[in-house]
């Protein structure tokens, strides 16, 4: 097991909701749908319409430089009642950067998102590539950030088709699971209505990462 995996496992056991969350299952009926790497000019608006039609909510882990280019989409996500959260400004891998660089990158994103929506947002952070180092983890949690990972990976970045993406998640989710998707793949958008229908058919509702506090 890698050092990063040891950190995630150990801290999740000690502080399951204060510093790190990875989809610990519970007896409730909500699952958390999350999207990385947006906002996306081609797909985000369609994703929002699909979520609205299904009366579902989601968390969008936004990349700061993309948010800067598409502030209207950020405001639309926020205005429709979804959670916007931090995915770094330049999608930097913590294992390849100094602690100072990661802190500056994350804090820059937080400030940009709050400036765009005109309000404070939760300090929920999903590290790009799921990469964690001891230094960056401690530095960011001391600044009030909570690391949000996932328990079910749709692997939409690898499947390249809507059918395969659906097959990767169908029937797997239970209360408390966090599902990982990406905004910047058209096939994810195509698969999403079927994914939401399948989740709903099993009596589950889709909520934001805030539900796991």
Nearest to 32, CA basis, from 198, 148, 188, 146 = 148
3-class DSSP assignment, residue 16:
coil
Report percent pLDDT > 90 for the chain: 83
pLDDT in tens, 96-150: 999 999 999 999 999 999 999 999 999 999 999 999 999 999 999 999 999 999 9
Catalytic residue among 22, 57, 82, 182: 182
Q: In this structure, what DSSP letter does residue 40 have?
A: -
Alpha-helix residue ranges (DSSP H) falling in 17-70? 44-53, 64-69
Q: Would residue 36 show up in a list of annotated catalytic residues for this protein?
A: yes
pLDDT of residue 16 exceeding 50, the answer is no
Residue 106 belongs to what H/E stretch? helix 99-117
Question: What residue has token string 């299904």?
Answer: 54
Alpha carbon of residue 131 to chain centroid = 14
pLDDT band at residue 26 using 50, 70 and 90 as cut-offs: low
Choose which CATH entry (3.40.50.150, 3.30.465.10, 1.20.1300.10, 3.20.20.370) describes domain 3-7+21-212: 3.20.20.370
Active-site residue among 36, 124, 156, 177? 36
- Asked if the model's pLDDT at residue 13 lies above 50, the reply is no
């Amino acid at each position: 097991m890698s050092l990063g995996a040891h950190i995630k496992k150990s801290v999740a056991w000690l502080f399951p909701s204060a510093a790190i969350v990875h989809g610990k299952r519970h007896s409730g009926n909500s699952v958390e749908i999350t999207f990385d790497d947006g906002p996306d000019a081609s797909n985000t608006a369609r994703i929002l319409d699909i979520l609205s039609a299904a009366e579902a909510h989601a968390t969008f882990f936004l990349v700061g430089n993309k948010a800067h280019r598409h502030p209207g989409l950020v405001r639309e996500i926020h205005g429709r009642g979804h959670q916007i959260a931090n995915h770094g400004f330049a999608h930097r891998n913590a294992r390849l950067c100094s602690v100072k660089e990661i802190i500056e990158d994350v804090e820059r994103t937080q400030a940009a998102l709050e400036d765009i929506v005109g309000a404070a947002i939760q300090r929920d952070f999903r590290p790009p590539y799921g990469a964690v180092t001891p230094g960056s983890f401690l530095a960011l949690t001391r600044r009030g950030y909570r690391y949000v990972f996932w328990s079910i990976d749709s692997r939409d970045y690898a499947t390249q088709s809507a059918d395969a993406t659906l097959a990767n998640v169908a029937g797997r989710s239970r209360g408390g699971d966090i599902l990982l998707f990406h905004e910047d793949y058209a096939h994810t958008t195509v698969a999403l209505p079927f994914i939401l229908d399948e989740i709903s058919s099993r009596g589950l509702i889709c909520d934001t990462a805030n539900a796991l506090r």
